[in-house]
Amino acid sequence: MTFLNMFGSKEEPTATKADDRLSLVLSYQRSDIDERKLKFFQARLIELCDEFDFDVVGQVTIIPQSKERTTIINASIPVRKKENG
């Protein structure tokens, strides 16, 4: 049975996950990100969407990432154009 298991699917490599986690923890560490400020930033983005005639139609996510000692803030905002816009 052990022998047969050898042909089974291999476990997912962990280094890719580690790389993503590392990118996230370094971003937080380098920018000294304040979670409250990040939520405020998220709220302002939603307000901006409204100003520009977009309805936010899903979960807004703000993910800081780190690349070569620079922090990149990735914002994912699912929107739809306002019908009366």
Partner 1 sequence: MTLNHRSVAITITSGKGGVGKSTTVASAGLGLAQLGYRVCLVDTDIGLRKLDLMLGLENRIVYDLVDVVEGQCKIRQALVRHKEYPELALLPAAQTRYKEEVVPQQMEQLIHELRKEFDYILIDSPAGIEGGFRNAIVAADRAIIVVNPEIPSVRDSDRVIGLLESANIGQIDLVINRVQSDMIKDGDMLSVERVQNHLAINLLGIVPEDKRIIRSSNTGEPVILDDKSMAGKAYANIARRLSGHDVPFLELESDTLISKIKRLFHIA
Judged by the rule CB under 8 A, the positions of this chain that interact with partner 1 are 6-10, 12-16, 18-19, 21-23, 25-26, 29-30, 66-69
**Closest alpha carbon to 27 in 77, 60, 62:** 62
Nearest to partner 1 of 8, 35 (CB atom): 8
We find the least distance from the C-beta atom of residue 14 to partner 1, in angstroms, to be 5
In three-state secondary structure terms, 15 is: helix
We find the least distance from the C-beta atom of residue 21 to partner 1, in angstroms, to be 6
Q: Are strands 61-67 and 70-76 parallel, antiparallel or unpaired?
A: antiparallel
We find the least distance from the C-beta atom of residue 64 to partner 1, in angstroms, to be 14
81: which 2 tokens?
A: 């154009």
